[in-house]
Amino acid sequence: MGFFNFEPATLPPEAEALRPEVRAFLAEALKDKRPVDRAWNWMGHDQDFSRKVGEQGWLGMTWPKEYGGGGRTFFERYVVMEEMLAAGAPVQAHWVADRQSGPLLLRFGTEEQRKFFLPQIISGNACFCIGMSEPDSGSDLAATRTKAEKVDGGWKVNGTKVWTSSAHLAHYMIALFRTDAEDKHGGLSQFIVDMKSPGLTVSPIINLAGNHHFNQCVFDDVFVPDDALVGKPGGGWNQVVAELAFERSGPERYLSCIQLILELLGVAAQSRDPAMVEEVGRLSAHALTLRRMSLSVAGKLQRGENPSLEASVVKDVGGVFEQSIPEIAARLVEEEPTLMGGDNFQQVLAFLTMEAPSFSLRGGTREILRGIIARGLGLR
Amino acid sequence: MSELRNILTDSVNGLFGDRVTRELLTRFDETGDDGGIWAEVEAQGLTRPLVSEENGGVGGEWRDAHVLLSAAGFHSAPVPLAETILASWLAERAGLPVPEGMATIIDGSDGSLTITGDGDSAKLSGTVARVPWASKAETAVVVAAQDGGVMVGEVRLSDARDISASQNMAREPRDDVSFDGAPLRVAHLPNDLPQDVILQYGAMVRAAQIAGAMDKVLTQTVQYANERTQFGKPLGKFQAIQQELSRMAGEAAASGVIAEAPFAALDDGQNSEWQIAAAKARTSEAAGVGATVGHQTHGAIGFTYEHSLHFATRRLWSWRSEFGGARFWSRRLGTRAVDRGVENFWADIVSG
């Protein structure tokens, strides 16, 4: 007993009070979205939508008021996030910045960085991407090779980042560069890179579905000024570990396929097929469980505790769950998935079947997460 | 956590941790003898967490019952603690005397049990299969049909016409019981309780026991993986083992989180039916993963009677099917979902 601490968390009334407001906002903002659009879930990118969310005061909700933040609780933020995801809102343009880049700057950034970047995030104008993976450094982050060399007034960067989601749309990248070739973990540092920097070339990597989420970013003598360093030189590894705890902690880690659950429910409600009805119930039980686990992680964030271990558990269990949904839908419903034509179920099934492999890769592979959990169990 | 809950947690883990040894569980398997721990369970007031102080209980909350039931599941305690807690609670809620000694609950609300007459002349008849602990318990609190509705009754099991002993895989009594005009005390089912209260609350307590047993199997398996050496290193250092134990740990964590949910809902005055359904469906599914990974990691030694792993895994395999298995409760949840429609699905997940 006692490997994990999933303290039960209940949403306080001020958090619940936000829910009808968010639902009303989304009902209006998303009224023209088709199910297959909603299926993009948090991969959907729409900077205008993000600005509208910012106008509502729903970005940087937990950040201090002195930077324009909402000074609200993680529970209030949780309600906004889960309602956005459940409705399939296109949140990608603000998601990363709101979830991890802003908190990173609050924790490790300079006063100038906070004053400059946080208001842009809060207004929904700044899209951030994350430059961690490289051609030879996927799960093994400490193998990062993209090099930042000290030059007069800043750093000169050379190397390549890959699988960088939204790099083609982002304004800034939080990048992990090697500043010391000798020290494997202690030789990494984080920088904020302006995506318009000369020498930085972003080219698309089209996924198997023909969609463009991620990119290759080549740095060719890119100059990054001194004030772009986040935290201490050599502090990158520890900062990234803290950042990943935020990345893995949210409800997006079990709701990616909610649109397909809804479509399956629609088919089940029409057919009353017992196997489908039962499966919808089973998926509900899983969703109820994951939501409680995820809320418990929000409670940890609210108490200022480190959520890494429990967040990894939620992401692992949630990833298995969301990845199973296209399989279940394809097994139970005798309709072919369709890319062109077909009904909503068929379209959503096709889209999510092809996106699902990424669910246990992005933000830490299943194997990496289970390694973290194994460490929590005292096995490593 | 409340002070009461801390005290109960310490008492129950102290008692079962000390007394429920492999020797005791072996004797229980062979003879049904609990080695005298029931007397201590009662003496420490653990059977009445939900009974008011004036009726000899501790006047606690459902969350207090939850810690007791998780601990009973963790330690494979060979006593009807869950059944007696529910029987005592339901008797008091219905205004019946709180039973003394071991008690169980019987769901006859589907008409399998009927009550005739009222007051001192009330009689109970009918047959119910696989009643937990009936051959050991003194009293059963039943929900039985009468005049198109249901009533709560309290009956002495010595007044049953026949109790035909049977067991689950953990050798816990699961007996067929028939009544033929047995005298009983009757009361109305409180308005705020569903007719299938015994099925629902029975599922809730089993889910808590499953979550406790999942923790036990995880704990035992991690310990074994760290101790057992092969190819010159502990099993737990092999990535293949780490990956599987992590998967099992996720299932154990999920079980713990959802098993607590209906207890919290009851304390907070919220609807518990869907939390119960989710808890029993989810934990019953997880139980298979826990037992499978536990045994795979332990290898052949864990498949022997001599090793203690099976005390928890046999309970997992049994409990997942009792008071409705994963499919039963999934159907309930699914039927609600299709009845309520796509537009209410998310709102219902949020409100439980």
Check B334 against A380: CB less than 8 A apart.
no
- Give me the residue from A281, A320, A379 closest to B333, CB to CB: A281
pLDDT score recorded for residue A44: 93
Judged by CB atoms closer than 8 Å, whether chains meet at A82 and B350 is answered as yes
Closest by Cα among B76, B63, B72, B24 to B44:
B72
Please give the pLDDT value at position A1.
52
* Joined tokens for residue B82: 């869950």
What number is the average pLDDT over the span B213-232? 98
Residue B338 has its nearest CB partner, among A272, A373, A379, at A272
Query: Which regions of chain A carry the CATH code 1.20.140.10?
Result: 248-376
Q: Pseudo-torsion of CA B255, B259, B261, B265, nearest 10°?
A: 170
Task: Tell me whether 0.95 is exceeded by the ipTM.
Answer: yes
Give the DSSP letter of residue B165.
Answer: -
| Secondary structure (H, E, C), chain A | CCCCCCCCCCCCHHHHCHHHHHHHHHHHHCCCCCHHHHCCHHHCCCHHHHHHHHHCCCCCCCCCHHHCCCCCCHHHHHHHHHHHHHCCCCCHHHHHHHHHHHHHHHHHCCHHHHHHHHHHHHCCCCCEEEECCECCECCCHHHCCCEEEEECCEEEEEEEEECCCCCCCCCEEEEEEECCCCCCCCCEEEEEEECCCCCEEEEEEECCCCCEEEEEEEEEEEEEEHHHEECCCCCHHHHHHHHHHHHCCCCHHHHCCHHHHHHHHHHHHHHCCHHHHHHHHHHHHHHHHHHHHHHHHHHHHHCCCCCHHHHHHHHHHHHHHHHHHHHHHHHHCCCCCCCCCCCHHHHHHHHHHHHHHHHHCCCCCHHHHHHHHHHHCCCC
The answer to whether the CB atoms of A377 and B237 lie below 8 A apart is: no
Structure tokens at A287: 């969703």
Contact B250, B282 (CB under 8 A): no
Q: Please, what is the Cα angle at B237 between B232 and B243, to 5 degrees?
A: 140
Task: Using an 8 Å CB-CB cutoff, list chain A residues near B341.
Answer: 265, 269
Which residues of A have a catalytic role annotated?
247
CB B60 within 8 A of CB B69: no
Torsion B77-B218-B258-B317 (CA) sign: negative
Across the A/B interface, how many CB contacts are shorter than 8 Å?
170
* DSSP string covering B116-127: ES-GGG-EEEEE
CA–CA gap between residue A84 and residue A42 (Å, rounded): 9
Looking at residue A242, what is its pLDDT? 84
pLDDT confidence of residue A247: 82
User: Which residues lie closer than 8 Å to B107 by C-beta, 6 or more apart?
Assistant: B128, B142, B143, B196, B198, B199, B202
Indicate the DSSP class of residue B304: S
pLDDT reading at B186 higher than 70: yes
Residue B48 has pLDDT above 90, yes or no: yes
Average confidence (pLDDT) over B76-92: 98
Residues of A in contact with B335 (CB under 8 A): 277, 281
Q: B101 CA to chain A: closest CA distance, Å?
A: 30
pLDDT at A88: 97
Q: Which two tokens stand for residue B123?
A: 């009689």
At A99, list the tokens.
Answer: 């979830």
CATH number among 3.50.50.60, 3.40.640.10, 1.20.140.10, 3.30.300.20, domain B197-351: 1.20.140.10
Could B282 and A284 be called an inter-chain contact, meaning their C-beta atoms sit closer than 8 Å?
A: no
CB within 8 Å: A281 and B330:
yes
pLDDT of residue B183: 98
Tell me how close the Cα of B183 comes to any Cα of chain A, in angstroms: 41
Start-end ranges of CATH 2.40.110.10 in chain A?
Answer: 130-235
Chain B residue with minimum CA distance to A268: B338
Q: What is the pLDDT of residue B1?
A: 66
pLDDT of residue B53: 96
Reading the block at residue B150, the tokens are 């249901």
CATH 2.40.110.10 domain extents, chain B? 97-193
Q: Where in chain A is the domain with CATH 1.10.540.10?
A: 13-126
Segments of chain A with pLDDT less than 50: none
CA A229 to chain centre: 23
CATH number given to A13-126 = 1.10.540.10
* CA distance linking residue B263 with residue B64, whole number of Å: 9
Smallest CA–CA distance, residue A317 to chain B, in Å, is 6
CATH of A248-376, one of 3.40.50.10310, 3.40.50.300, 3.40.50.1000, 1.20.140.10: 1.20.140.10
pLDDT-derived band at B262, boundaries 50, 70, 90: very high
Q: Nearest Cβ partner of B222 from A86, A285, A378? A: A378
The whole-angstrom distance between A155's CA and the closest CA on chain B is 39
Q: What's the CATH number for B97-193?
A: 2.40.110.10
Which residues of A are less than 8 Å from B215 in CB distance?
1
Q: Pinpoint the residues of chain B covered by CATH 1.20.140.10.
A: 197-351
Minimal C-alpha gap between B64 and chain A (Å): 14
Which pLDDT tens digit goes with each residue over B54-76? 999 999 999 999 999 999 999 99
Ordered alpha helix ranges (H), chain B: 3-19, 22-31, 37-43, 62-75, 81-94, 197-227, 239-267, 273-298, 309-319, 326-340, 342-351
CA distance B321 to chain A (A): 15
**Across the interface, which of B242, B250, B337 has its CB nearest the CB of A317?**
B250
- Report CB contact under 8 Å: A292, B257: yes
Residue of B nearest to A366 (CA): B243
**Contact: B327, A8; criterion CB under 8 Å:** no
Amino acid (one-letter) located at A348: V
pLDDT digits (tens, 9 = 90+) for A57-83: 999 999 999 999 999 999 999 999 999
Is A261 in contact with B225 (Cβ distance < 8 A)?
A: no
- C-alpha distances in Å from residue B126, one per residue of B19, B109, B113, B245: 38, 11, 4, 47
Burial of residue B110 (CB within 10 Å: 0-12, 13-18, 19+) is middle
B202, B107 contact by CB (below 8 A): yes
Cα nearest neighbour of B335 on chain A: A277
- Amino acid identity at A226: D
Contact A268 B245 (CB under 8 A): no
Q: pLDDT tens across B135-182, in order?
A: 999 999 999 999 999 999 999 999 999 999 999 999 999 999 999 999
How many CB atoms neighbour CB A78 within 10 A?
27
Average pLDDT, chain B: 97
CB contacts, 8 Å: A317 with chain B = 250-251, 253-254
Q: What's B168's DSSP letter?
A: -
Task: Give the pLDDT mean for B221-237.
Answer: 97
Q: Do B338 and A268 touch (CB under 8 A)?
A: yes
Task: Report the topology of domain A130-235.
Answer: Butyryl-CoA Dehydrogenase, subunit A; domain 2 (2.40.110)
C-alpha span between A296 and A298 (Å, rounded): 5
Mean pLDDT of B256-266: 98
Measured CA to CA, the distance from residue A287 to residue B258 in angstroms comes to: 10
